[in-house]
Structure 1
């Protein structure tokens, strides 16, 4: 687990007017809650957070929040953005208890898709039905992402949640709810099937012959 430090300052004045003044001063109003301590209003530098939020770890990693020199372990739980401007309006952070299991959504990284039998076959569409998955684990076991190795993916294959290789101490709560919750993560099928059975809205189609190099990372 990598350490990502964010610097913040406590604030005593709250309300819409105070938050508006903070934003005009290039700061972000935020709150830290949870654990045995009372909720605390804080502010962060907008430019630094804007850069940080462009990284995947910002959303799925435990963050070290330095508030006036006192460091707390937190998770980002909510981010409010301006509807059309590049402005972060508000952030919610939850304190992390080292001895209490977390439920967090982490991204999936798809590997070796281009090298797979399905990826090398023309006319095959590889669908990423999920791009993230909710896991449960102790803070010390929280991964920044989960790798999905598609090197052996063949035409007609379906990779389900239960087939994901999870790090030690990590589990998928949804799988405890029954076999019907063991949903598809990746599907490899003939492209012509799209005409007969359109993909559900939100699924990501990745033509095998046009896979981005990003999938190799």
Structure 2
């Protein structure tokens, strides 16, 4: 009992000396005042969380490609997006990708995991992040898609498989291209399934940070289907696109 009390006293002292602060506005988080237990864990205050541009539940599914073509081998692929690509989500994603703020991605990954639909007429076999090239991963120190995928994996209770897909050649950043055809050409043939994996019959949730034209996710999904996957759906943090069914 004494050891438990000492541990609690120590934790109280640590929280007093080094209080948790909201990662967005910097305000001290006080349970019961500006956050609850769950928000305290996420390190965000209720005021900032209320500003997240969450999409309506009926406006979260999109066709993978913004510019579909007739010969598409996977024309029915759908991608789920939780947020509009607006502040503060866009700010957090940029901090994560370009300023090595991995914790920003952990917050968004946790929110994605909590909101992603759990009732599907099949069983997920794997959550797979879209990979980076070795060069890009070394530059950033981590793969942002892996950070986001972790939250989904934990909440769905589905294995996170980071090494199923490899990026076999370095590509220019997709943001440098404005035309869908340019983006498609940039990533064509960029992915391969690692030969150690047999994904025949798998139902896969493919994860990335942003959906723009869908070229990157489409190319990664195509290689999964070519290696025997049964179903591939996508999940991203945010998209610029509006729901096509409006």
Q: Same fold (TM over 0.5)?
A: no
Superposition TM-score tier, normalisation by shorter sequence: under 0.3
User: Which structure has more strand as a fraction of its residues?
Assistant: 1
- Choose between structure 1 and 2: higher helix proportion: 2
Looking at CA atoms only, which structure, 1 or 2, has the larger radius of gyration?
1
* TM-score, with length taken from structure 2: 0.22
